[in-house]
Structure 1
Amino acid sequence: MLTLKKNLLWVACGASMLASSFVGAATTLHVATWLPPTSAQNAVVWPTWKKWVEEATEGRVEVVIENYTGDPKSIFDAVEDGVFDVGFSVNSYLPGRFKLASVAEIPGEISDAEVGSVALWNTYEEYFTADQEFMGLHLLGMFVHGPGQLYTNFDVNSLEDLKGKKMRLGGGLVNTLAERLEVTPISAPAPKSYELLQQGVVDGTFLPADQQKTLRLSEVTKNLILFPKGLYTTAFSIVMNEDTFADLSKKDREAIMSVSGEKLSRLAGAAWGSADDEGIAEAKANGVNVVFLFEEDALVKEMRAISKGIDQSWIDSVADRKVDAKSALAFFRQNVDALSANK
């Protein structure tokens, strides 16, 4: 009888210890990332957010960053379906689903990625939440890369030189610009650019300068033409699986959002914007012809003229959404001006 009691006691103690270990165990968030380690997203944004989340939740939530080898166009679906808990991608990779964030893609609106990212988040919070574009996902942040620039393997002395050239496009309002430039569009995610340029499938691409280093495009590009305010920007969203977020305790949900939202958007924008200088340096080191344009240059004036009215194109494109697009655009511009003045 004594032996039986001892055995029962050991079983009870073991069960108690096991239960305690589960109570103290961290919830793990699996984050999908699809760019190389050299990218600002992987070198700066994800490691910083991981640290912030783990500190804010006092270790109750652990963040594990995992390489995503699928098409970046499928990231939103992978997170929504619970394959991963968190991820990010380009909004325009899913045409028609996420249209409102393109307010930040209008040519000539922003020249600073941090400013544009914070202005985009503020505009989303103020005007876009009612439309529920992100139904099925929990939005953690929004950001833009640095000003999109012109990469070519042919000489450009005027916009006429672009007509008929095969250019890689990532989607969004840059497609409207490309249509006006009368280029031959080749739609593909940014990571495909190296292969397309190397094999001569395309004659050039539209991307921010950081990709000269991040995607090693300095190896397959002859010219990097830098417009003072860029040609466009691209909007990204950082999202979490809705059920994963809901299953967290209220305390941990609040802790995660305290280091997300505007704070995460600002971090991402600043990191991606700062990487442009590294891309330009990489281009120069690899013998790429880097051309700095100024507002008075003929090419800039031509581009400004051809871009005119794209803001109205955005307003028209979201006419089916529950949003006052004109007011949202005005609010976005006011944010950009105010944030720029305070930098």
Structure 2
Amino acid sequence: MKSKKIVFVLGMALFSALFGITASMVQADVVQLTYSNFFPPTHFNHQLAESWGKEIETRTKGAVKFTYFPGGALLKGPEMFDGVIKGVSDIGMSLFAYTAGRFPSMEALDLPMGYPNGNTATMIANDFYKKYRPKELDGVKVLLLHAHGPGLLHAKKEINRLEDLKGLKIRCTGFSAKAAAALGGVPVAMGQGGAYEALQKGVVEATLTPIETLKGWKQAEVVKYTIECYSVGYTTAMYVIMNEKKWNALPKEVQKVFEDVSSAWIPKHGQGWDQADKEGREFTLSLGNKVIPLSDEQSKLWASKVAPVIDEYVGVLEGKGLPGKEYVQFIRDGIKKYGKK
């Protein structure tokens, strides 16, 4: 009998080694987790969320299972952070700009710094968090960050010069609202979910948003022009976070799987934003809409107009004892580093 027990134990050890399953994974009950985001089910970010979860399910051999709630079905974008803290959803994806003022350090990422593409913005966002670990994100487990490509101006009327923006009602969020005002427009705070109808009905006349929304959110159907104002291209940093208690309850080896998969999915999100921007451009052109590049003179003028927005941010943070100037320089260095790739 004793020899049979030894053989059985050795057999189980060999099974675990062969299939990469630790004893705790085999013995533990399946962990059921909910994952919420505000993107529609067809959006690539939701699709990446699902593939992220499936990869974790695969690597944990089914020890973790996810149920997804896209399109704000469980939590709307502005409710996401608190909803995850309270356990309404175990995991959530949303953006910092939906709760302006709550994340003063992370807001540096949303400044109109002239981001060239989404991959650059995404890599900078993750580098920024890893370096500074802002206390404002205490209370949740940050799994990964990502950020869209340059926010550009899309309008119902043709715009070639700064003067054309005077009095223009522009849908925006976060710091893009300040940029819109600095450029002479009238900012109208609004999430993406309401942008299509607002443009369609004339509640707003333009929107500051990455070009991917022209296809991903069908907004090309309700605008006629895209203005390539890359010199003031902003981004919107987004988070994927997990309820801290749920995170702490996971076995260490499962936590490692989460971290490994999240790290691998960072460039997938960055590249996804760039591919989505390409598709958004193609889609709007296919509808007969026009893409208008700004002249060098106008690009410099627009950049000079939004510079005070950046300066104001630095001053406010320095007044709070936070290194606002260092944050801005870190981002500028990141644009030089990743923008060349």
Change (3 A) 1:317 1:117: farther
Separation (CA, whole Å) in 1 of partners of 2:140 and 2:319: 21
Change (3 A) 1:229 1:61: farther
**TM-score, with normalisation over the residues of structure 2?**
0.85
Q: Which moved more, 1:237-246 or 1:23-32?
A: 23-32
Separation (CA, whole Å) in 1 of partners of 2:332 and 2:264: 20
| Percent identical residues | 27
Partner deviation per Cα, 1:105-158 (whole Å, 9 max, x = no partner): 22234212112211221121112x1x4111222111112101001111122131
Change (3 A) 1:161 1:149: same
- What are the within-5 Å matches in structure 2 for residues 1-343 of structure 1? 23=27, 25-43=29-47, 45-67=48-70, 68-69=72-73, 70-127=75-132, 129=133, 131-171=134-174, 173-229=175-231, 231-260=233-262, 262-293=263-294, 296=296, 298-319=297-318, 323-341=322-340, 343=341
Partner deviation per Cα, 1:283-323 (whole Å, 9 max, x = no partner): 011122222345x2x33232122122433223223236564
Q: In the alignment, is the contact (CA less than 8 A) between 2:317 and 2:323 conserved in 1?
A: no
| 1:318 alignment partner, SS class | helix
Change (3 A) 1:201 1:100: same
Separation (CA, whole Å) in 2 of partners of 1:272 and 1:303: 24
RMSD of equivalent CA atoms: 2.2
Separation (CA, whole Å) in 2 of partners of 1:321 and 1:91: 19
Separation (CA, whole Å) in 2 of partners of 1:98 and 1:122: 16
Change (3 A) 1:230 1:307: closer
Q: Which moved more, 1:212-221 or 1:53-62?
A: 53-62
In the TM superposition, residue 222 of structure 1 has moved relative to its aligned partner by 1.4
Q: In the alignment, is the contact (CA less than 8 A) between 1:166 and 1:183 conserved in 2?
A: yes
**TM-score, with normalisation over the residues of structure 1?**
0.85
Separation (CA, whole Å) in 2 of partners of 1:317 and 1:121: 23
Partner deviation per Cα, 1:51-82 (whole Å, 9 max, x = no partner): 33223323211222223235311111221111
Q: What one-letter code is carried by the residue in structure 1 that aligns with 2:170? A: M
Separation (CA, whole Å) in 2 of partners of 1:149 and 1:170: 13
Query: Which residue in the other structure is 1:9 paired with?
Result: none
In the TM superposition, residue 91 of structure 1 has moved relative to its aligned partner by 0.3
Separation (CA, whole Å) in 2 of partners of 1:53 and 1:322: 39
Structure 1: segments with no counterpart, 5+ residues: 1-21
Separation (CA, whole Å) in 2 of partners of 1:285 and 1:246: 49
| 1:206 alignment partner, SS class | strand
Structure with larger RCO (C-alpha < 8 A, sep 6+): 1
Q: What one-letter code is carried by the residue in structure 2 that aligns with 1:326? A: K
Separation (CA, whole Å) in 2 of partners of 1:334 and 1:55: 38
Q: In the alignment, is the contact (CA less than 8 A) between 1:152 and 1:224 conserved in 2?
A: yes
Separation (CA, whole Å) in 2 of partners of 1:144 and 1:46: 14
Q: What one-letter code is carried by the residue in structure 2 that aligns with 1:339? A: Y
Q: What one-letter code is carried by the residue in structure 2 that aligns with 1:169? A: C
Separation (CA, whole Å) in 1 of partners of 2:135 and 2:319: 13
Separation (CA, whole Å) in 2 of partners of 1:322 and 1:237: 24
In the TM superposition, residue 93 of structure 1 has moved relative to its aligned partner by 0.7
Q: What one-letter code is carried by the residue in structure 2 that aligns with 1:81? A: K
Q: In the alignment, is the contact (CA less than 8 A) between 1:147 and 1:229 conserved in 2?
A: no
Separation (CA, whole Å) in 1 of partners of 2:292 and 2:258: 42
| 2:137 alignment partner, SS class | coil
In the TM superposition, residue 243 of structure 1 has moved relative to its aligned partner by 0.9
Q: In the alignment, is the contact (CA less than 8 A) between 2:114 and 2:150 conserved in 1?
A: no
Q: What one-letter code is carried by the residue in structure 2 that aligns with 1:104? A: L
Give the paired residue count.
316
Q: Which moved more, 1:320-329 or 1:98-107?
A: 320-329
Q: In the alignment, is the contact (CA less than 8 A) between 1:106 and 1:311 conserved in 2?
A: yes
Change (3 A) 1:329 1:194: same
